[in-house]
Structure formats: structure tokens, C-alpha cells
Amino acid sequence: MPSSRTATAVVGLLVSLLVSAVLWWHFNTFAFFLLIPFVPFLFRGSSRDASEEPVRACPSCGFQTRNRGYDYCPRDGTRLEERRQ
């Protein structure tokens, strides 16, 4: 299943093609510029890089992770604390 960002970009492209076709039919001119604003959505990576995630660390043993799946330290079970780097 495509992400919501991809689905939005595809719908935007289809709508812009439809608008371009209507403008072509009505004014006899091609409006390709309507496609350009949606192209970056298709080729953009994740909206949030792993480097933007805060580091979460164990105050007891020093275990660190950026993975949001960890709430507790896998070594000793202590709750992880957020640290900005």
C-alpha cells in the first residue's frame, strides 16, 4: 500500500493532467507547468531522517538508540531518557 504522501502526489498529478487537458481543449494551449509542483513529492525520501530522531539512552548502563520501538533498556529494563545531540 502506498504512503499517504505518494497517494497525494499521484492524485495531484492526475488532477493537474486533467486541468491541463481542459485548458488545452478550451484555450488551445498546453499548461505543462501544472505538473512541476508535484514532482518533488514522488522522489522525496522519508520526511524525517534517522539523524533527526532524538537519542534515547539508559541512565544506568549507557545503552543508546534512536529507534522509537524501545521504551526500556534491553539490558537492565530501565526506562530510556531522551537526549538531544
**Residues linked to residue 40 through DSSP beta bridges, in sequence order:** none
Least confident of 1-10, 18-27, 75-84: 1-10
pLDDT digits (tens, 9 = 90+) for 22-39: 888 888 876 665 555 656
Residue 78 is inside which H or E element, if any? none
Convert the pLDDT of each residue in 32-78 to its tens digit.
Answer: 655 556 566 556 665 555 457 789 999 999 899 988 888 999 999 99
Give pLDDT, residue 22.
84
59 touches 78 (CB < 8 A): yes
